[in-house]
Chain A
Amino acid sequence: MNDAITVSGLDVRFGASHVVKDVRFTVGEGESYGIVGESGSGKSTILRALSGLNREWSGSITIAGEPQKAKRPPAFYRQVQMVFQDPYGSLHPRMTVDATLAEPVAIHGLGDADNRINRALADVGLDGGFRFRYPHQLSGGQRQRVAIARALILEPSILLLDEPTSALDVSIQAEVLNLLSDLKGARGLTLVLVSHNLAVVGHLCGRVAVMKEGQIVEEATLDAIRSGDIHEAYTRDLVAASRRAHGAITAC
């Protein structure tokens, strides 16, 4: 298996605060990798550095065998796309779904926008009736589907997901998670999923990095986490909190 993403010695500083400290990990091609931790632990910052949104970093990032500089060429974005946490904020309120999806196609000069848009909408389970709607005419789950379609329309091989379900209801969360695992299977996508919810990460990913205060304190497979083969007290706390939350529902 080739490595899709290799990160080593990644440091990110915002002024005086050191947000990401010497982070290293690798993600294989077609693998799903999870990053969990509290907010402020630096997990989203790592994704923003990977996707080229944050240019202030040091260390090395290699994506699909190519060492990356701070500024990425347009071709990079055909390979790597990102889905953001809040579908209410990440879609332009005055652009229809059609315009939102047509923009990346035009930027990259792919042509054949009409068919691509229809296909992208079908892939995320939205029928053609949604194509000329505005975001305010969609429910939260539908908006997140549009956001995923926007990322997938360029047919990337790597998808970065920043808390893709935490702004959604549990019932919608289940739909979006199912959609992601279907897409992963159908396209062999490499996923990097950031979440504070260990159960969500566990549903999609095989390996998880646990972050605390800008550092990866532990990296473990989901099987190890389930069987309790973990070494850091903080990971144990997270697992216990996740079990407690679920146990409250299923214990009786």
Chain B
Amino acid sequence: MRVETPLLAVENLRVRFHTPTRIVEAVRGLSFTLGREKLAIVGESGSGKSMTGRAILDLVPWPGEVSADRMEFRGQEMMGLDRHGRRAIRGKRISMVMQDPKFSLNPVMTVGQQIGEAYRVHTKASRSEARERALAMLEAVQIREPARVHDLYPHEVSGGMGQRVMIAMMLIGEPDILIADEPTSALDVTVQAQVLDILERLVTDRGMGLIFISHDLPLVASFCDRVVVMYAGRVMETLDARALSKGKHPYTRGLLGCLPDLDHPKDRLATLKRDPAWANGAGT
């Protein structure tokens, strides 16, 4: 059997922001490959996790600048594509669920219209066909009364429902890769379990690749297959999710050490000691 080309291969990805006073490097030399699996990117806020997701979709806002030695989607180089080429991939082949449904949904369109719009951008479907698809997608993300929810505005749905609406919108184009940016951090434990269930099924049934961006280490350890630990725009280490607790890098150890534990109470939680040398590539 031939070796399957990975869904996504990224090599030496850099995202820079040119500001009047200095150049801010959000992502510095990130490399990874994604197969049909659940890959987690963890790190603190500001470590460049979300920017990595945006760079893959060419959604880095001005004045950001993206460069990479290689960014291949199923063997096709994406860096050389023009805006139209990238747009054809975005949403249809690779899509992204943003962090906060409250700010990412259009407040003056019903959720059904928004899901339908995502479909009609990429196919020449009629309005009624888009509505049918939108209803089917709402059902697929386990919303109980799809017909009622279809006509609601974003402020009328709960946080968990909004998140599922976003997932429905991103999945309607049947992408090969889904980038989920903190998809469950605004949700309750029970709703979180439902959303994870949906994602899990998509990976196993449809062979989708999932990039799961999160800062929740316990969640990632139990849900994902592989974990990339990021700090200051660099990969600190890449681990098998089940071996996350055996991570050797001091940053990984530090993140694990500051979790409170119900059964082993400590007087003081360990706080993270950040070594400036990590940002310059030591330990990678």
A residues in contact (CB < 8 Å) with B: 38-40, 139-140, 169-175, 177-178, 181, 196, 198-200, 202-203, 222, 225-226, 239, 241-246, 248-252
Contacts and interface: CB of A to CB of B under 8 A. Distances in A.
A194 to B, nearest CB: 14
A42 to B, nearest CB: 14
Interface string B155-199: 000010000000000000000000000000000111000000000
Contacts, number: 93
A200 B259 CA distance: 9
A41 to B, nearest CB: 9
Contacts of B269: 174, 177-178, 203
Contacts of B229: none
A239 B261 CA distance: 11
Interface string B212-241: 000111110110000000000000000000
Interface of B: 44-46, 159, 188-190, 215-219, 221-222, 242-246, 254-256, 258-263, 265-272
B245 A249 contact: yes
B215 A169 contact: yes
Contacts of A196: 188-189
A169 B268 contact: no
Please classify the interface of chain A as helix (H, G, I), strand (E, B), loop, or mixed, using the class held by over half of its residues. helix
Contact of A174 (B188, B243, B258, B262): B258
Most chain-B CB neighbours within 10 Å: which of A181, A243, A249?
A249
21 contacts: A38-B188, A39-B188, A169-B44, A170-B259, A171-B255, A172-B44, A174-B258, A174-B271, A174-B272, A175-B271, A178-B268, A199-B259, A199-B262, A202-B262, A203-B266, A226-B263, A242-B262, A245-B222, A249-B221, A249-B244, A252-B243
Contacts of A245: 218-219, 222
Contacts of B188: 38-40, 196
